[in-house]
């Protein structure tokens, strides 16, 4: 039996452990917002990784968005040094998950194993990927205890809300200064190397009116109607213009190869009351209406172009619609990121995909941003990809799941990448 077969067998032998680890991670409800149980999952990972010989450090991202005494932003960084000098391979996974939402037929934090699939919020995005990277590292260490360089594994906060309390904070504080290769086990499918992502621009738009009695709306000015005019301009002009644009980036799924925008939320008039309120609404003309927009843009578009396109429509309404006034508040922006297809980590992981799965790797880009943006822009490290198990379209959906076989295959790919980089043994043809 070759060394390569011994390594893949070491991964296979850990199947039950991989299942239990994934279930344990899902059962820690790290909901973001607000940022629950970050410390608990870091302590769980700390206990696990120390047993595998890693030196660990828990890092709180003080003064980052959302960080407070009730919901502190905790991260863990674990490092295992080799016996000789060499490169460092860093696996980064976020530990937070989005809201549960409606439509589940299983316990979203139960981690149920059904027909070879583990169900739960975060199973796919991305606790299954985190578990697979840990199993890959442990299988590699058992097979090659005498290796060069170092392995790092991080579990970080807040990726679902921008990553500023997680990878951005770590990058700002030098945690990637001695890292040469980064693999982020996001769920882009086990046969794909994800090179980067589209850009994003988030803004809040508020329209203004004048409050008055609801029986005499002509004495007031309805901010909701003004917002309706904004949405009409978006429907008639902006959405068709975005749909006509296409990128040369290999973005998946196909619909994301065009520019897109989501209306994230809308609030107008009186605040919604609590569920136990049994009264009736007051009769008022709304004097404010707010929407949050989530604009995803292509590498061929500039941030200024994206911003100016929206403000141009708003200014057009201001000049033509009676009493129309608005404010626009930019919430966040992220530029597109793209790793070169010939980068070392790209070629290494692609070769391992072909070795393990028996077919060439597909090269893609993500429709949404992920923490590569911070490793690229702040950490100044271009040799970074997303690669991990899971079906991209399941992220944030009800009955989210991760396939056990997919995790095993991805763990074999990740373990093989460690073998090639830290031992110098390329796949055998």
Catalytic positions are 96, 159
Long-range contacts, stretch 47-54, CB < 8 angstroms, 24+ apart: 48/21, 48/134, 49/76, 49/78, 49/134, 49/153, 50/78, 52/80, 52/134, 52/137, 52/138, 52/141, 53/80, 53/141, 54/78, 54/79, 54/80, 54/151, 54/153
b/e 260-278 (16+ beta carbons within 10 angstroms → b) = bbeeeeebbbeeeeeeeee
Closest CA to 389 of 195, 188, 196: 188
- List, in sequence order, every residue forming a beta bridge with 88; answer none if it has no partner: 150
What is the DSSP code string of 232-249? Answer: HHIIIIIHHHHHT---SS
Asked if the bond preceding 126 is cis, omega within 30° of 0, the reply is yes
User: Half-sphere exposure of 71 toward its Cβ, with a 13 Å CA cutoff?
Assistant: 15
Strand order in the sheet with 117-119: 113-114, 117-119, 401-403
């Amino acid at each position: 039996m070759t060394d390569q077969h011994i390594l893949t067998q070491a991964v296979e032998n850990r199947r039950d452990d991989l299942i239990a680890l994934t279930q344990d991670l899902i059962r820690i409800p790290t909901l973001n917002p607000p940022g629950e149980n970050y410390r608990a999952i870091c302590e769980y990972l700390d206990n696990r990784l120390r047993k595998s010989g890693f030196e660990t450090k828990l890092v709180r991202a003080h003064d980052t968005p959302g960080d407070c005494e009730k919901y502190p932003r905790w991260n863990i960084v674990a490092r295992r040094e080799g016996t000789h000098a060499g490169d460092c391979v860093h696996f980064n996974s976020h530990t937070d998950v989005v809201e549960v939402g409606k439509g589940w037929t299983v316990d979203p934090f139960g981690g149920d194993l059904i027909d070879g699939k583990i169900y739960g919020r975060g199973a796919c995005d991305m606790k299954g990927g985190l578990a697979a990277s840990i199993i890959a590292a442990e299988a590699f260490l058992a097979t090659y205890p005498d290796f060069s360089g170092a392995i790092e594994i991080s579990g970080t906060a807040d990726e679902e809300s921008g990553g500023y309390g997680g990878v951005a904070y770590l990058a700002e504080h030098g945690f990637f200064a001695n890292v040469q290769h980064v693999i982020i086990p996001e769920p882009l499918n086990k046969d794909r190397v994800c090179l980067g992502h589209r850009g994003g621009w988030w803004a809040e738009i508020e329209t203004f009116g004048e409050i008055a009695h609801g029986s005499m709306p002509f004495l007031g000015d309805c901010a909701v109607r003004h917002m309706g005019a904004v949405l009409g301009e978006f429907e008639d002009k902006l959405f068709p213009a975005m749909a006509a644009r296409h990128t040369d980036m290999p973005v998946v799924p196909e619909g994301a190869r065009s520019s897109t925008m989501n209306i994230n939320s809308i609030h107008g008039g009186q605040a919604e009351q609590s569920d136990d309120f049994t009264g009736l609404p007051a009769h008022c003309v709304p004097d404010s209406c707010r929407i949050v927009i989530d604009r995803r843009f292509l590498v061929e578009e500039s941030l200024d172009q994206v911003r100016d396109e929206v403000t141009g429509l708003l200014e057009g309404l201001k000049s033509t619609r009676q009493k129309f006034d608005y404010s626009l508040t930019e919430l966040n922006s992220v530029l597109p990121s793209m790793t070169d297809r010939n980068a070392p980590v790209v070629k290494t992981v692609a070769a391992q995909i072909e070795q393990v799965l028996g077919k060439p790797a597909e090269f893609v880009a993500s429709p949404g941003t992920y923490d590569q943006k911070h490793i690229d822009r702040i950490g100044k490290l271009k040799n970074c990809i997303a690669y991990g198990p899971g079906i991209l379209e399941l992220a944030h959906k009800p009955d989210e799941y991760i396939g056990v076989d997919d995790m095993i295959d991805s763990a074999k790919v990740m373990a093989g990448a460690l073998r090639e980089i830290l031992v110098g043994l390329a796949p055998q043809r």
